[in-house]
């Protein structure tokens, strides 16, 4: 007791801040007196960096405090709000772009590996489940032919459509009709499709951070800043389901192919920076039960049509256009789906998110599958992250 | 006045001085001769040499550049041979190839009939029956035709259309009205358990054109009505022959002194040929249901329910008449196989259902067999939708969601969709 009294007198001098801590330290040994084998109790509060100093440690502490608020957020809406409420200059990524070799750039932005061909087929169904009804390919073909003929031939339009509007005026309703009729015909075989929601030209938004740069000019010149990206996409049609699609490959599947690394700043692509609202949206709000994606359908605009690329001597860019669109759109969609489930760069996904995409220009179709294995793309989270996102795709036919 | 500086003061005192009229607009003359800053400079007057008769002036036209001492050449005015579309004037109406002396009263999709349903009934020689026919209502109540979890699915559709499908807090009617109709049709198509034999195909924008004589006036329905569902097989007739014969005694309601063509657009340039909107050989030739949407954001831009019902009657009638003429020829007669067309009109919340049976194409006289229409008006799907919760004194009084949900309306919608296939 005498020793404790001395200690209290000694420590009262420096300031009141240590008073309560000292009091706690004094009472603590009295409480844990009986079990001396317990872990050694801290006799002073944890030494942490300052919160307001102009130092790297203080900045780190502030960042960790912000990340703790995101972890502690009770609802997904609140989490998304905290992640997207601060607006800074960010690169606007357009999935349908005329930039050369855009697919390699987009792979580096999204840490995606591109494999040609389709993913490995799932293991065969167990024999005790009843066999699925045979696929009526003739009926599907007839339905597709009907849609084509309806738009191109049978429908009498009021005005002759001019050449530059032909694609939107004819291919767009054709794609709508095709998706609706095929969904209806295949819903007998696939009960998930029967309960699916079909969206027509609904926006899809995604916002993420990847990589770092040194700020070149301004009052923050010389400091390290993260690179921010935003995709604002409008797929022509998309199918959303309430149960997640099964994964193609396991979450930690290591692909031998490397993610392309670009040595220049994204401005070289060309990619431009703008500051506006950061949104994360899959096509519906978080309250919708159909929050997992199935397939997206995209129609390429007139600006990227085949004949135009051939005239510009960019014949090898035809495939690139399809691939870049698929990688960007599907990454945005799967990433937004994962964020709707509460995952983010510090809380990486625990199960892979899978979606499919079909990209067409009215005549040629390409099919893509995307598996999102990781959302941790920021510099801090990506240090020890071996996972990569995978995109499978076909040539267009 | 101390606030205005020198030239501004003059402008205020004498408004005509700066070329502006009394209310700040250019003077009337400015529109006719052009604003001074944009007028082309006048060409220089021709040389005096040209006034001497009999002399041929020597000009520098051959030298291709100015030469002092030689006369300025005068060229004939140049005719480009074509006019850009911006400056093309339409020929006067009398010279149009389709000009006819008899005026035709055209009904298009923005025509509001003054007398509403009464006028539409007179124009199409139709008898009105309130409520949907029993055949369709029995389809609605039959539990075999119901979708599993029907109410839950419809509520999800309403939530999606009114709240979830856009990033805004409160989506506007222009977006939510087509979304709700598309979702309801997709729900009917994909989940109805009844197996379809006659496939249907949805067509968003096709143009329709039919003309008929009503007394001495020529009436035409022209334009696109919105989404249309077509079927491989025609809808079976609903009213029996006795009921059809019984309509002979029905007298059409007139509304003297209002002319029956009020609200229709009178025009002299029109084409009399019928057009269903599709070419021959289309695999789904029979019109099944029309979906009319009133999706303008502002209330004055939307049709009143009465006007919407009149529009539904006229477009359904136009489709039926075009189909009848295609099947049975252009002669006016009483049809042995009546043609049936359905229609659904909505503004996203209130639904109007209509089934029209065309019994006769003899529309010139007021006597004889009449056509029949069953009309179910003002069916609410839900009374109101709260996009944000209503909070009074820190307690939630109304949660987010629809109030006054009526599942009966969707059952009728599904019955109209399945009619003819089941």
Q: CA-CA distance, B381 to B409, in Å (whole number)?
A: 6
Q: What are B15-69's pLDDT values in tens digits?
A: 444 555 566 776 666 666 677 777 888 888 988 989 999 989 999 999 999 999 9
Cβ-defined contact of B202 to A177 (cutoff 8 Å): yes
pLDDT at residue A198 greater than cutoff 60? yes
> CB-based contact (8 Å) between B333 and chain A?
no
Taking the model in full, what pTM does it have?
A: 0.83
Residue B177 has phi, psi (to 5 degrees) of -65, -50
pLDDT at B197: 44
- Token pair, residue B107, equals 């009904």
pLDDT at B226: 82
Contacts of A22 (CB under 8 A, 6+ apart): A7, A8, A11, A12
- Token pair, residue A65, equals 């405090």
Q: CA-CA distance, A106 to A332, in Å (whole number)?
A: 11
**DSSP secondary structure letter of residue A156:** P
pLDDT at A263: 92
Q: What are B78-90's pLDDT values in tens digits?
A: 998 898 888 888 8
pLDDT at B201: 67
Q: What are B273-285's pLDDT values in tens digits?
A: 888 888 888 888 8
Q: How confident is the model at residue A13 (pLDDT cuts 50, 70, 90)?
A: very low
Q: What are B70-118's pLDDT values in tens digits?
A: 999 999 989 988 988 888 888 888 888 889 999 999 999 999 999 899 9
Q: What is the mean pLDDT of residues A176-181?
A: 88
Q: What is the mean pLDDT of residues B361-377?
A: 91
Rounded (5°) CA angle A300-A303-A309: 95
Chain B residue with minimum CA distance to A286:
B164
> CB-based contact (8 Å) between B194 and chain A?
no
Contact, A264 vs A144, CB < 8 A?
Answer: no
- Number of alpha helices (DSSP H) and beta strands (DSSP E) in chain B: 9, 15
- Identify the residue with better confidence: A4 or A106: A106
> CB-based contact (8 Å) between A185 and chain B?
no
SS3 content of chain B, % helix, strand, coil (to 5): 30, 25, 45
pLDDT at A27: 45
Backbone torsion region of residue B368, taken as left when φ is above 0, otherwise alpha when ψ lies between -120 and 50, otherwise beta? left
**Which of B164, B183, B201 has its CB closest to that of A150?**
B201
pLDDT at A219: 93
pLDDT at B200: 65
> How far B325 CA lies from chain A's nearest CA (Å)?
18
> CB-based contact (8 Å) between A138 and chain B?
no
pLDDT at residue A17 greater than cutoff 60? no
Contact, B363 vs B260, CB < 8 A?
Answer: no
> CB-based contact (8 Å) between B109 and chain A?
no
Q: Where are the beta strands (DSSP E) in B225-324?
A: 227-231, 265-269, 286-293
- Which residue in this structure is represented by tokens 């389809």? B139
> How far B39 CA lies from chain A's nearest CA (Å)?
35
Range in A211-225, B193-207, B374-388 with the lowest mean pLDDT = B193-207
Pairing of strands A353-360, A292-299: parallel
Q: CA-CA distance, A233 to A236, in Å (whole number)?
A: 10
- State the ipTM, two decimals: 0.83
> CB-based contact (8 Å) between A151 and chain B?
no
CA A45 vs CA A22, A41, A174, B39: distances in Å:
9, 10, 68, 85
Q: CA-CA distance, B104 to B273, in Å (whole number)?
A: 13
Residues of chain A with Cβ-Cβ distance to B206 below 8 Å are: 155-156
Question: How many CA atoms within 13 Å lie on the side-chain side of B233?
Answer: 12
> CB-based contact (8 Å) between A198 and chain B?
yes
Neighbouring-strand partners of residue B396: B391
Q: How confident is the model at residue B142 (pLDDT cuts 50, 70, 90)?
A: confident
> CB-based contact (8 Å) between A186 and chain B?
no
pLDDT at A71: 95
pLDDT at A189: 81
CA A254 vs CA A180, A281, A394, B180, B374: distances in Å:
37, 29, 21, 44, 66
Cβ-defined contact of A158 to B189 (cutoff 8 Å): no
Q: What are A24-80's pLDDT values in tens digits?
A: 444 444 444 455 555 678 888 888 899 999 999 999 999 999 999 999 999 999 999
Cβ-defined contact of B163 to A285 (cutoff 8 Å): yes
Q: How confident is the model at residue A143 (pLDDT cuts 50, 70, 90)?
A: confident
pLDDT at A362: 83
Candidates A138, A178, A198, A203: best to mutate against B (most CBs of B within 10 A) is: A198
Range in B119-128, B199-208, B291-300, B409-418 with the lowest mean pLDDT = B199-208
Q: CA-CA distance, A340 to A342, in Å (whole number)?
A: 5
- Name the residue among B384, B387, B388 with its Cα closest to residue B406: B384
> CB-based contact (8 Å) between A285 and chain B?
yes
- Identify the residue with better confidence: B334 or A123: B334
**DSSP secondary structure letter of residue B59:** B
Residues of chain B with Cβ-Cβ distance to A290 below 8 Å are: 156
Q: CA-CA distance, A28 to A321, in Å (whole number)?
A: 67
pLDDT at A11: 45
Q: What proportion of chain B, given as a percentage, has pLDDT over 70? A: 89
- Name the residue among A88, A89, A91, A111 with its Cα closest to residue A267: A91
Residues of chain B with Cβ-Cβ distance to A187 below 8 Å are: 190-191
CA A231 vs CA A267, A322, B155: distances in Å:
16, 16, 31
- Token pair, residue A132, equals 């699925």
Q: CA-CA distance, A165 to A169, in Å (whole number)?
A: 6
Cβ-defined contact of A202 to B165 (cutoff 8 Å): yes
Q: CA-CA distance, A226 to A238, in Å (whole number)?
A: 32
């Amino acid at each position: 007791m005498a020793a404790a009294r001395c200690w209290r007198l000694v420590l009262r001098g420096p300031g009141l801040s240590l008073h309560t801590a000292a009091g706690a330290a004094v009472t603590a040994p009295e409480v844990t007196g009986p079990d001396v084998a317990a872990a050694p109790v801290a006799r002073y509060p944890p030494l942490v960096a300052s919160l307001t100093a102009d130092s790297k440690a203080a900045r780190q502490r502030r960042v960790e405090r912000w990340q703790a608020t995101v972890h502690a957020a009770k609802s997904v809406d609140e989490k998304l709000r905290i992640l997207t409420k601060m607006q800074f200059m960010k690169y606007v990524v357009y999935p349908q772009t005329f930039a050369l070799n855009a697919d390699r750039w987009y792979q580096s932005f999204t840490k995606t590996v591109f494999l040609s061909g389709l993913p490995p087929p799932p293991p065969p169904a167990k024999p005790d489940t009843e066999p699925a009804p045979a696929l009526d390919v003739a009926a599907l073909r007839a339905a597709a032919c009907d849609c084509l003929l309806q738009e191109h031939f049978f429908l009498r339009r009021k005005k002759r459509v001019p050449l530059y509007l032909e694609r939107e005026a004819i291919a767009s309703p054709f794609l709508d009709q095709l998706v609706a009729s095929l969904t209806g015909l295949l819903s007998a075989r696939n009960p998930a499709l029967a309960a699916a929601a079909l969206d027509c030209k609904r926006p899809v938004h995604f916002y993420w951070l990847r990589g770092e740069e040194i700020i070149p000019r301004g009052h923050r010149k010389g400091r390290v800043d993260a690179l921010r990206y935003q995709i604002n996409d409008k797929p022509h049609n998309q199918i959303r389901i309430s149960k997640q699609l099964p994964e193609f490959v396991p979450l930690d599947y290591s692909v031998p192919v490397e993610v392309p690394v670009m040595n220049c700043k994204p401005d070289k692509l060309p990619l431009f920076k703008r500051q506006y609202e950061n949104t994360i949206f899959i096509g519906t709000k978080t309250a919708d039960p159909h929050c997992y994606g199935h397939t997206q359908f995209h129609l390429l605009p007139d600006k990227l049509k085949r004949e135009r690329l051939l005239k510009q001597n960019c014949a090898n860019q035809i495939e690139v256009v399809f691939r870049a669109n698929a990688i960007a759109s599907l990454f945005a969609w799967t990433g937004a789906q994962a964020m709707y489930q509460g995952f983010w760069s510090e809380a990486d996904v625990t199960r892979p998110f899978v979606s499919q995409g079909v990209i067409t220009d009215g005549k040629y179709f390409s099919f893509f599958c995307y598996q999102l294995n990781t959302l941790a793309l920021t510099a801090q989270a990506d240090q020890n992250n071996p996972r990569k996102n995978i995109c499978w795709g076909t040539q267009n036919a | 006045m101390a606030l205005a500086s020198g030239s501004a003061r003059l402008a205020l005192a004498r408004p005509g001085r700066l070329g502006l009229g009394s209310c700040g607009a250019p003077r009337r003359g400015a529109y006719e001769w052009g604003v001074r800053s944009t007028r082309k400079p006048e060409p220089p007057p021709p040389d005096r040499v040209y006034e001497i008769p009999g002399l041929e002036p020597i000009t520098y036209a051959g030298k291709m550049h100015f030469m002092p001492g030689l006369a300025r050449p005068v060229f004939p005015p140049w005719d480009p041979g074509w006019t850009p579309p911006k400056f093309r004037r339409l020929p006067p109406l009398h010279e149009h190839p389709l000009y006819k002396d008899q005026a035709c009263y055209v009904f298009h999709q923005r025509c509001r009939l003054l007398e509403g349903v009464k006028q539409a009934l007179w124009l199409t020689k139709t008898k009105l029956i309130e409520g949907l026919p029993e055949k369709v209502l029995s389809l609605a109540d039959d539990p075999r035709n119901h979708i599993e979890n029907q109410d839950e699915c419809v509520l999800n559709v309403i939530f999606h259309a009114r709240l979830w499908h856009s990033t805004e807090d409160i989506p506007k009617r222009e977006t939510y009205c087509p979304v709700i109709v598309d979702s309801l049709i997709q729900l009917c198509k994909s989940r109805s358990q009844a197996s379809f034999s006659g496939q249907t195909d949805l067509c968003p924008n096709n143009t329709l054109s039919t003309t008929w004589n009503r007394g001495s006036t020529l009436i035409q329905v022209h334009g696109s009505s919105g989404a249309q569902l077509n079927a491989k097989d025609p809808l079976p007739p609903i009213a029996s022959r006795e009921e059809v014969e019984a309509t002979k005694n029905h007298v059409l309601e007139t509304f003297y002194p209002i002319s029956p063509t009020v609200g229709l657009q009178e025009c002299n340039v029109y084409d009399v040929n019928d057009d269903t909107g599709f070419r021959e050989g289309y695999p789904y030739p029979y019109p099944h249901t029309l979906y009319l949407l009133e999706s303008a954001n502002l209330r004055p831009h939307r049709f009143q329910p009465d006007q919407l019902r009149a529009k539904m009657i006229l477009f359904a009638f136009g489709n039926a008449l075009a189909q009848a003429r295609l099947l049975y020829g252009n002669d006016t007669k009483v049809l042995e196989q009546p043609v049936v067309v359905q229609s659904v009109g909505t503004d996203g919340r209130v639904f109007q259902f209509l089934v029209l049976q065309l019994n006769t194409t003899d529309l010139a006289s007021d006597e004889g067999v009449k056509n029949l229409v069953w009309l179910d008006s003002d069916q609410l799907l839900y009374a109101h939708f709260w996009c944000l919760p209503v909070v009074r004194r820190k307690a939630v009084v109304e949660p987010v969601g629809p109030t006054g949900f009526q599942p009966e309306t969707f059952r009728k919608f599904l019955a109209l969709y399945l009619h003819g296939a089941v």
